[in-house]
């Protein structure tokens, strides 16, 4: 077996973070890094424990959707977090921003964000963020943040994409090493989490990368379809939509899809 470039040793070397990635668990294949992280969180894993794999047999997006990643092609990473109730809603902001910054560091191309959780390169989806949590009442027991980034893959190999997709290698015309990207992601995650925890307005940095603002949008939130003009985002990443009658609605990022 060829050793993976995402082995624990490769990722720990020179990482220098305080908590994100202090423990790293690599597996050649897993159903989903989300489930491995969740199980570990239940068993008491510390904040920042990272799970990474070369292949997922049941990789998922939000709302039961699939995340496709041919074996060895992608960065598939989940991290155990133990946020306060106040921080929890900001995790999608933290993850999106960290993914965009890490991609920029590796690819030298500006990454943009599509509300609520897509990472784009040149207008196409290159990655996604998934936040799942368990709660006792309103208090989060833990959260698992999953990030998938298309690194070395032919976007045409993806079968079920709803939105145009791309990869770092496709945009750059050359393969991209995954370990430096993974390390950049862990460092940016830690830094952005600490900023958010300290009450810094990370949503402003996130907003500056959003391609969704100042556009007509259709947002599906459960059974409701909200149509209007996307005017802003709030500090928790909620999308502020002005409806045709002039009223403002804030759509919470958690479990909705944008249709335009
Ligand atoms: C996401 O969901 O974009 C979040 C994806 C998170 C994946 C990571 S990988 C590590 C961790 N372990 C997991 O099991 N998951 C996380 P969503 O916004 O629901 O987008 C899913 C949709 O994106 C699918 O329905 C497809 O249309 C499309 N899609 C699937 N695979 C894709 C890919 N590789 N690149 C671009 N689009 C893709």
Domains of the chain: 8-207 (3.30.930.10), 215-258 (2.30.30.100)
Q: What is the dihedral of CA 128, 193, 107, 7, to 10 degrees?
A: -80
Q: Which ranges of 43-197 does DSSP label H, i.e. alpha helix? A: 91-107, 168-172, 178-197
* Distance of alpha carbon 211 from alpha carbon 197, whole angstroms: 25
Q: Which of 109-129 are b and which e, b meaning 16 or more Cβ less than 10 Å from the residue's Cβ? A: eebbbbbbbbbbbeebbbbbb
Ligand 1 within 6 A of CB of 130: yes
> Is 163 strand, coil or helix?
coil
- The answer for 205, left when phi > 0, alpha when psi is -120 to 50, beta otherwise, is alpha
pLDDT for position 1: 41
Q: Which of 33-72 are b and which e, b meaning 16 or more Cβ less than 10 Å from the residue's Cβ? A: bbbbbbebbeeebebbbbbbbbbbeebbbbeeeebbbeeb
Ligand 1 within 6 A of CB of 170: no
Cα(65) to centroid of ligand 1, in Å? Answer: 7
Ligand 1 within 6 A of CB of 217: no
Cα(61) to centroid of ligand 1, in Å? Answer: 4
Ligand 1 within 6 A of CB of 160: yes
**Is 67:38 a contact under the CB 8 Å cutoff?**
no
> In testing the pocket of ligand 1, which one of 148, 160, 257 has its CB within 8 Å of the most ligand atoms?
148
**Strand ranges inside the chain, DSSP E:** 24-27, 50-53, 74-81, 111-114, 118-121, 124-136, 139-150, 215-221, 224-233, 239-242, 248-251, 256-258
pTM of this structure: 0.96
pLDDT in tens, the chain (260 residues): 445 799 999 999 999 999 999 999 999 999 999 999 999 999 999 999 999 999 999 999 998 899 999 999 999 999 999 999 999 999 999 999 999 999 999 999 999 999 999 999 999 999 999 999 999 999 999 999 999 999 999 999 998 888 899 999 999 999 999 999 999 999 999 999 999 999 999 999 999 999 999 999 999 887 888 999 999 999 999 999 999 999 999 998 765 667 66
Cα(69) to centroid of ligand 1, in Å? Answer: 9
Ligand 1 within 6 A of CB of 192: no
Cα(51) to centroid of ligand 1, in Å? Answer: 17
């Amino acid at each position: 077996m060829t050793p993976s470039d995402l082995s624990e040793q490769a990722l720990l070397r020179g990482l220098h973070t305080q908590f994100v990635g202090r423990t790293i668990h690599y597996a050649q294949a897993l159903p989903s890094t989300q489930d491995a992280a969740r199980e570990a969180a239940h068993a008491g894993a510390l904040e920042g424990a990272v799970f990474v794999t070369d292949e997922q047999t049941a990789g998922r997006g939000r709302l039961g959707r699939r995340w496709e990643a041919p074996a060895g092609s992608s960065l598939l990473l989940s991290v155990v977090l133990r946020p306060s109730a106040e921080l929890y809603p900001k995790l999608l902001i933290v993850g999106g921003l960290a993914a965009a910054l890490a991609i920029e560091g590796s690819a030298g191309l500006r990454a943009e964000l599509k509300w609520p959780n897509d990472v784009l390169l040149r207008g196409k989806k290159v990655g996604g963020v998934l936040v799942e949590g368990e709660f006792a009442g309103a208090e989060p027991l833990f959260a698992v943040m999953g990030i998938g980034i298309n690194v070395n893959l032919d976007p045409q190999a993806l079968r079920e994409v709803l939105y145009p997709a791309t990869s770092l290698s496709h945009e750059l015309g050359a393969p991209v090493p995954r370990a430096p990207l993974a390390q950049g992601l862990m460092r940016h995650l830690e830094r952005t989490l600490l900023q958010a925890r300290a009450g810094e307005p990370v949503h402003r940095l996130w907003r500056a990368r959003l391609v969704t603002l100042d556009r007509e949008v259709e947002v599906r939130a459960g059974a409701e379809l909200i149509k209007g003009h996307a005017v802003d985002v709030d500090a928790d990443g909620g999308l502020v939509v002005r409806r045709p009658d002039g009223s403002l609605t804030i759509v919470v990022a958690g479990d909705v899809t944008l249709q335009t």
